[in-house]
Each structure stands twice: as C-alpha cells, then as structure tokens.
Amino acid sequence: MTDSKVTARVKGVRDDIVTIEVLTDAEGNYYPVVKNEVIHICPTRLGLDDRQEFLKAEVLRVRHGEADAQVFENTRGVAIGDSVEQTGHMLSVTLGPGLLGQVYDGLQNPLELIASQHGFFLPRGLEVDGIDQQQHWAFVPIVKVGSTVCAGDVIGSVQEGRFKHKIMAPFNLLGEAEVTWVQEGSFSVSTPVARIRSNGEDIEVSMQQSWPVRIPVCEPLLRSRSSQRHFPKEPLLTSIRLIDTFFPIARGGTACIPGPFGAGKTVLQSLISRFSEVDIVVIVACGERAGEVVETITEFPNMPDPKGGALMDRTVIICNTSSMPVAAREASIYTGITISEYYRQMGNNVLLIADSTSRWAQAMRETSGRLEEIPGEDAFPAYLDSSIRALYERAGLIENNHGDMGSLTLIGTVSPAGGNFEEPVTQSTLRTVKTFLGLSAERAYKRAYPAVDPLISWSRYLEQLSEWYQENLGEDWIGQVKEMHTLLRRSESVQQMMQVTGEEGVTLEDYITYHKGMCLDQVYLQQDAFDDVDVSTSMERQQRIFELLRDALSQQKNFPNKEAVREHYIKLTSLFRNLNYSREKSPDFKLYMTEIQHLKTEFD
C-alpha cells in the first residue's frame, strides 16, 4: 500500500458500489484500471482513532475514464473526491502452510486473531495477514541447484500438522526455470527458500504465494499441460448408506443439498465432513444467519476426527454472516475454492462444502442490481447460470506434474425460499451438479434421518462410475440397487393408495410390497447419527448388509394373511436395526445375523 499512489477519485457512492473517476498521467493518458483489480478507497474523513482508512474494493466494470468497484467494507463517510489507490493486483488469497485449522472471513482475515486483537469485529479498513508471518516451518527441499522446475512443481515440503505440505513453484511461472539456490532449515513463510532463474530473470521463492481467487489455481498448469484433468473414477465414500449405495457422489464430483429449515442439513453436512474419505475439508459458511455461523465455528473445532485427533486440524472454515457486506459474502466462496484447489494441487483429496450457494447468488443479485445491469429471471443477473456452472466446474480430479492425483469434491447447499425448487438458483444448480440429495421436511418430521427423500433424489454417478462398482462390488451391484430403488417407489404408491382405501383396499401382494419398502427405508436408508456404530457404515459393511437385506426382501413367501405379513416384516426390521447398532464381529452382531437367517425360513 505504501508505494501506491493516488490514480483515481471517488465520483459517486451507491451502498457498497463506488464509482471512481480515473486520473490521467503526465502525458494525459488515463491510468490503466482492469476488471477485478483491487483498489483502496482512502476516505478524507479519518477513522475513529484518526487513522487513515484503506477500504478494500474490487473493480467490477471499467468504462472510459471511469470504473465501478464493489467495496468489501461499509462505505459510511466515503465522499466524492476521496482518493483512490490502485494495487495492480487481483483479489487474491495467500497460499502456504498455516491455512489448516483457520477460520477466515471471506477475504481471508483470520477471525480468531481479529477477535483476540480487536474484539469480534474487524475495524474498518484494516487487513490482517491470511497466514501467520512469524511462525517458522522446517523446510526440506527436494530440488537441487541446477534442477529444472515448471509452474506448480514441488520444490520441497514442510510438515503442517499431520500433512506433508508441498511447497510448489509459483503457479504463474512461464516455461522452465533453473534452480540457482536453495536452502534447508526453519523459516517463516515469507523467507526465500530458493531462487530460480526464468527467462533470464531471478525469482525468489518463499513458502507462500498469492493467487487471484477468480482464476482456478490449476488453469495455467492445465494450459501448459503440466497438470491434467481426469474424469472422476471412484465414489467419495461418506459412510452414509443412503448416499454411498443409492445416491453416490464421485470423488472430484459435484452435489447439491437443498434444505428446508430444520430438515437436518447441518447434521448431514457435518456427517459428510467428518466421515468422508478425504484428506482436507474446506467449509464455506456464506451468508447464513450469524447464529448459525457461530454454531459452525464453535461446534466444529471440538468435533473428534474419526481418523484421530481433532477434525479442525484438517479443516479450513470461511465464514460470512448475512450482516457482513454483500461483496465479502460473494468473495467468500472463491476464497474457499482457491484454498481447496491449492491443497488438491499437492495431490490431496479435498472436500468443499459451500453453504449456501443461494446466499452467494443473492449477493451477486444485489451487486448486479446496484450496477443497474439488465436483470434476468427473479432479478438475478443474466449470467447466473454461467456463474453457477463455472463455480462447480472448479471441482474435479487433477493429476499434477509428479503423477499425484488430487481431487476436489464440491457439495453446495441451496436454500430456496419457501422450499420452491423452481426458483433460478436451484434450477441452475440442478442442471450443473451430478448428485442431488433432496432433503425433505416431511421425512424430517417423521424423524426419518438422514431426511433425504429417495424418491426425489438422484445421482448420475452410479452409471458414470459403473466400472468401479463392477470391480469392487460385483457385476450386478447397480442392477440390484436399481431394483431396491424400484421397490421403494412401488411401496410408496401402495402407501398412497392405502391412505385412500385403507389396508383392506389393497391386495395381499401390494401389502407385502408396502412392508418390504418400509423395511428397506427403516433399516437401510435411515441411519442414526447419534449412535457410535450406526453413524458410519463402511462400504464393505454396506455391501454385506445390502445383500443380506435384498436377499430377505426378494424371497417369495406364502403369507396366510396381512397380519402375518406385518408381523414378519416388523420382526425383520427390528433385527436389522439391532444389527445396525452392533459392532461387526461382536457377539450381538453374530446373534442377529443368525436370527435373520432363521426368520428367512418363516412362511417358506
């Protein structure tokens, strides 16, 4: 900030949009301003403690001699004629060791640090380093003087908690560079650890680098072909039966969870973050009510990690409440994605949960409105669809230059007003993602958790990953899953019929179908998040239970009457539920298995 100079002045202020008038240089040319550049508005009227404030803003639109910028702060007291300084760079995050375990706001200000220094709210116009600049990390180089590196190539590593954090050559490096100096030892993130010579220029490389959030980290690497994108090949196992068996999410894939309030969205998200087979979890809590965000940041750090240690050790949280400026809310998702991409580039499996993308889209709508852009459906900008698509496209599977495969799985939640799925954000999202886990208030009301409605949910990955399923769960797996899904559908339609006609109005055969479907729902789809065993079911166990259950449900039986049908399936359901609560190989587990086998011979 110190070496920047005044190159523009404030011309108008409309909420958090500031129009600036660009000044001309000695030759009479306008100073160049580009879209997405970060500028600082410096109000003439000084801040509380007579401090000169620098209000961070991002240029959204450039016209001849003028530009509109969204300010990430409250614009109170900004006046026409106030000076504007340009930074010459785009809205960026700092990437390096020390990100894990942090709770940030949308602009990567560490909230804990702010709270300890300034109380809960960051005074306006103050910026805090995204990663601790004092902490030392033991850097171990893997390159030597004379080695050749390209953008994104690993030059060494440090131990960040339980992770080997790879330090990579700058992602914007052009072509090949030669290492001319490298040092091993304990340094702060800003200390140079290597020097490389690229196109005749010496570049110092430290453990941190800055990257513009609106450009995917892998973009230059894919362009230069040092990284490659692959199609997702395997499911991201979550240990939630309903997801893994019926509506899988691919590792490196995309999914959407809509949640009417109280349908169990928070519990489901925390289950997915805790039990999914991923290395790192990034949570963007964007624009929720302050209370919910506080819940996330107070609960999360205390959660135990099934892999040992605390979950927070491998988590980064970005949060903005709806009371924070709209622009910061809009930026938070990009900050989260960029950090996720960074860890993916090292070869990690990363899960990003964006909650909620509706609030992000609303922030976009507000900004677009203030810019007086031509509105599309429901006053959302006409580019809503492409913005949503571009967001989800940042998920995926990437192979880096060293042959390491990293994945970024993106699960976004949407919160359609009044549960109306027809609204544009939900519609665009559904066109983009490949798994839809439709939480239903009705199921939550019946306490059928996870309250994902199997009749409205879908996943394209069952087919797309068919090779994986065939190899790992058998040739018939997908067919069997579909068969069980059909059973649910048929059971539901019998239930609807019975609501009109009563039990007497349906045939014995339909009555059996109804009970089979109920049994499948209760013992397999429903899973108790508050039981130590049932909370998480390995894929191996899922397969075993699924096959056992399917076997029990496909048998043709000679029931004498409906009473016998009901009793049989109630017994079966109860045995399977007990089985779900028993640890594998425990005496209980064996006992219930035997009883299930016995029950199978009933009414043969």
Binding interface with ligand ADP (CB under 6 A): 259, 261-267, 449-450, 528-530
Q: Which is nearer to ligand ADP, 266 or 322 (CB)?
A: 266
**Exposed/middle/buried for 500, CB within 10 Å: 0-12, 13-18, 19+?**
exposed
Distance in Å, CB of 267 to ligand ADP, minimum: 3
Q: Which is nearer to ligand ADP, 268 or 512 (CB)?
A: 268
Tell which phi-psi region holds residue 146, choosing left (phi > 0), alpha (psi between -120 and 50) or beta: left
Specify whether the CB–CB gap between 333 and 360 falls below 8 A: yes
Distance in Å, CB of 110 to ligand ADP, minimum: 26
Q: Which is nearer to ligand ADP, 11 or 265 (CB)?
A: 265
Q: Cα-atom radius of gyration of the chain, to the nearest Å?
A: 28
Rounded to an integer, what distance in angstroms lies between the CA atom of residue 103 and that of residue 301? 10
Q: Which is nearer to ligand ADP, 405 or 529 (CB)?
A: 529
Q: Which is nearer to ligand ADP, 233 or 541 (CB)?
A: 541
Q: Which is nearer to ligand ADP, 449 or 469 (CB)?
A: 449
Q: Which is nearer to ligand ADP, 169 or 263 (CB)?
A: 263
Rounded to an integer, what distance in angstroms lies between the CA atom of residue 530 and that of residue 464? 33
Helix, strand, coil % (nearest 5) of the chain?
35, 25, 40
Distance in Å, CB of 451 to ligand ADP, minimum: 7
Specify whether the CB–CB gap between 8 and 80 falls below 8 A: no
Distance in Å, CB of 292 to ligand ADP, minimum: 8
Tell which phi-psi region holds residue 227, choosing left (phi > 0), alpha (psi between -120 and 50) or beta: beta
DSSP of 231-290: ---SB---S-HIIIIIS--BTT-EEEEE--TTSSHHHHHHHHHHHSS-SEEEEEEEEE-H
Distance in Å, CB of 252 to ligand ADP, minimum: 25
Distance in Å, CB of 266 to ligand ADP, minimum: 3
Q: Which is nearer to ligand ADP, 384 or 451 (CB)?
A: 451
Nearest to 553 by CA among 515, 498, 497, 511: 515
Residue 550: what residue type?
A: R
Alpha helices in 44-118 (DSSP H): 111-118
Q: Which is nearer to ligand ADP, 13 or 240 (CB)?
A: 240
In degrees and rounded to multiples of 5, residue 521 shows phi and psi of: -60, -50
Specify whether the CB–CB gap between 405 and 359 falls below 8 A: no
Q: Which is nearer to ligand ADP, 170 or 259 (CB)?
A: 259
In degrees and rounded to multiples of 5, residue 127 shows phi and psi of: -120, 145
Distance in Å, CB of 359 to ligand ADP, minimum: 14
Helix (H, G, I), strand (E, B) or coil at 418: helix
Q: Which is nearer to ligand ADP, 38 or 351 (CB)?
A: 351
Q: Which is nearer to ligand ADP, 182 or 272 (CB)?
A: 272
Q: How far apart are the first and last CA of the chain?
A: 82
Rounded to an integer, what distance in angstroms lies between the CA atom of residue 246 and that of residue 490? 16
Distance in Å, CB of 406 to ligand ADP, minimum: 29
Q: Please report, to the nearest 10 degrees, the dihedral formed by the alpha carbons of residues 353, 255, 259, 341 taken in order.
A: 20
> Which residues fall within 8 angstroms of residue 80, CB to CB, at 6 or more apart?
9, 10, 11, 12, 13
Q: Which is nearer to ligand ADP, 277 or 295 (CB)?
A: 295
Distance in Å, CB of 415 to ligand ADP, minimum: 9
DSSP tag of 370: H
Distance in Å, CB of 594 to ligand ADP, minimum: 28
Distance in Å, CB of 321 to ligand ADP, minimum: 16
Distance in Å, CB of 356 to ligand ADP, minimum: 10
Cα separations in angstroms, 567 against 384, 521, 571, 572 = 53, 17, 6, 9
Cα separations in angstroms, 293 against 74, 281, 299, 530 = 20, 16, 10, 22
- Reply yes or no: is the peptide bond before residue 356 cis, omega within 30 of 0: yes
Distance in Å, CB of 97 to ligand ADP, minimum: 33
